[in-house]
Amino acid sequence: MKDKIEALRAKFTKDLSSVKDLSALEELRLSFMSKKGAIQDLMKELGAIPNEQKKEAGQLINSFKQEVNERFENKKKELDELALKFLMDQTESYDESMPTKDPCGSYHPITLIQRELEDIFESMGFDVEDYNEIVDDYHCFEALNIPKFHPARDMQDTYYLSTPNQLLKSHTSAAQNHIMKKYGDALKNEGRPIRAVFPGRCFRNEAIDACHENTFFQMEGVMIDKDISISNLIYFMKTMLSEVFERDVTVRLRPGFFPFVEPGFELDIKCLICGGDGCPSCKNSGWLELCPCGMIHPNVLLHGGINTKEDPFKYTGFAFGLGLTRLAMMKYGVGDIRVFNDGDLSALSQFVSR
Ligand code: PHE
């Protein structure tokens, strides 16, 4: 047994000295330590040894096994250190505090378009507001004139939390009530019109494809004052969209139903690609559907504390819900909505940062 161990030790020493990397080391370790390895073979032979020599032979095998283990660990450490040293040599000049030579990132296209719109609206006297992603049933539906069990809820199936009455907002309109309460006093006491936009992430239970996502962005806008009419709505939308697309756009309104506006519209712009003649991107209609909007329903103004039941038309206002994701697709020519949430940097970093 002694001789056999001696021979194995010599082999191990020789093999170990020629090991150059971790995988060769592992291979060597298995050839000694695994169930089919050399040490296990020695253990098997132990059975054939006369009883009085068994104890000593067993001890020899055990201490050899320990030795192999230790030398294996030492070699592994040595290889790890070598690998680290190699890496440090390669990146000798790396300094964590140095800015990189290449641009170190870019804004998400939705962020770009959101900031652009915020600037445009701010220049028109609008406040930019933030709102929660988790909202309650009242703000998302009830306060917007969508009572429980109303079929209009079917269009906005979303994700409900296990906490009672909490859900992920299905549209930015969920913030309207909050905005009215925040700025209502200034309107009524100081005559300061409410002009606010609120961008935000929205969620809906959608089957995902190139045009539908369960997570997308909108930008809501409201303007409330005395004598606000559809003309104000058209003027603001036209001015804003001409800025976004950097050319004069032609808009038109079609009737559209949303329980929180009356009358409600779909706002279209004349196709920017064919100028209205008809092309594949406007499905040959000459128009692109861009943004639902309308005059805020009296019940919504009532819920927001703007008007009273006694004087339900004292103040009027318009609201619109711009699809930021849709706008980004149109402005940047992105054909598949999934690009925005995929996190694929090679696609997302192509947009110019500011
Ligand atoms: N919140 C509506 C939607 O997401 C859009 C909308 C906003 C319609 C404001 C009218 C006025 O479908």
Residue 329 burial (10 A CB sphere; 0-12, 13-18, 19+): buried
Closest approach atom of ligand 1 to CA 144:
1
199 pocket-lining for ligand 1 (C-beta < 6 Å): no
CA distance 190 to 8: 95
> Is residue 214 within 8 Å of residue 221, measured between CB atoms?
no
Domain boundary (42, 57, 90) is at 90
322 pocket-lining for ligand 1 (C-beta < 6 Å): no
Q: Angle 117-340-244 (CA atoms, 0-180°, nearest 5)?
A: 20
Residue 171 clears pLDDT 70, i.e. is over it: yes
Q: What is the CATH number of the domain that holds 288?
A: 3.30.930.10
Q: Are 139 and 10 members of one domain? A: no
204 pocket-lining for ligand 1 (C-beta < 6 Å): no
| Joined tokens for residue 208 | 């995902």
Question: What pLDDT does 31 receive?
Answer: 92
> Is residue 271 within 8 Å of residue 286, measured between CB atoms?
yes
Q: Are 85 and 119 members of one domain? A: no
CA distance 236 to 249: 12
Average pLDDT in the 147-160 region? 92
What distance in angstroms lies between residue 162's CA and the mean position of ligand 1's atoms?
A: 26
Closest approach atom of ligand 1 to CA 323:
4
Residue 31 resides in a domain: yes
Q: Are 26 and 114 members of one domain? A: no
Q: Are 65 and 203 members of one domain? A: no
Residue 329 resides in a domain: yes
320 pocket-lining for ligand 1 (C-beta < 6 Å): yes
CA R_g for the chain: 35
CA distance 325 to 321: 12
Q: Are 33 and 144 members of one domain? A: no
Question: What pLDDT does 130 receive?
Answer: 93
What distance in angstroms lies between residue 262's CA and the mean position of ligand 1's atoms?
A: 12
Q: Are 121 and 28 members of one domain? A: no
Residue 353 resides in a domain: no
318 pocket-lining for ligand 1 (C-beta < 6 Å): no
259 pocket-lining for ligand 1 (C-beta < 6 Å): no
Mean pLDDT, rounded, of the chain:
89
Domain boundary (90, 120, 149) is at 90
203 pocket-lining for ligand 1 (C-beta < 6 Å): no
Residue 354 resides in a domain: no
Residue 49 resides in a domain: yes
Domain boundary (90, 122, 146) is at 90
| Lookup result for tokens 């988790």 | 134
Q: Are 19 and 168 members of one domain? A: no
3-state secondary structure of 167: strand
pLDDT in tens, 92-134: 455 556 665 555 678 898 999 999 999 999 999 999 999 999 9
pLDDT in tens, 213-265: 999 999 999 999 999 999 999 998 898 889 888 889 999 999 999 999 999 99
Residue 101 resides in a domain: no
User: Of all helices (H) and strands (E), which one includes residue 348?
Assistant: helix 345-348
Q: Are 83 and 114 members of one domain? A: no
Domain span at 165: 109-348
258 pocket-lining for ligand 1 (C-beta < 6 Å): yes
Average pLDDT in the 191-205 region? 97
What DSSP string runs through 96-158?
TTSPPSS------HHHHHHHHHHHHHHHTTPEE----SEEEHHHHTGGGT--TT-GGGGGG--
Q: Are 144 and 210 members of one domain? A: yes
What distance in angstroms lies between residue 208's CA and the mean position of ligand 1's atoms?
A: 20
What distance in angstroms lies between residue 349's CA and the mean position of ligand 1's atoms?
A: 30
What DSSP string runs through 256-291?
---TTEEEEEEEEEE-TTTTTS--GGGTTSSEEEEE
Residue 251 resides in a domain: yes
Q: Are 149 and 275 members of one domain? A: yes
261 pocket-lining for ligand 1 (C-beta < 6 Å): yes
81: pLDDT confidence band, cut at 50, 70 and 90? confident
| Joined tokens for residue 58 | 């067993």
Domain count, the chain: 2
| Joined tokens for residue 17 | 């000295």
Q: DSSP label at 352?
A: P
Q: Are 188 and 73 members of one domain? A: no
What distance in angstroms lies between residue 89's CA and the mean position of ligand 1's atoms?
A: 58
Question: What pLDDT does 332 receive?
Answer: 80
Q: Half-sphere exposure of 113 toward its Cβ, with a 13 Å CA cutoff?
A: 25
354: pLDDT confidence band, cut at 50, 70 and 90? very low
Residue bearing the CA closest to ligand 1, atom 7: 321
Residue 212 resides in a domain: yes
What distance in angstroms lies between residue 5's CA and the mean position of ligand 1's atoms?
A: 82
Q: Are 62 and 194 members of one domain? A: no
Residue bearing the CA closest to ligand 1, atom 3: 171
What DSSP string runs through 286-320?
SEEEEEEEEEEPHHHHHHTTSS-SSSTTSSEEEEE
Q: Which of 157, 228, 258, 260 to mutate to test the pocket of ligand 1 (most atoms within 8 A of CB)?
A: 258
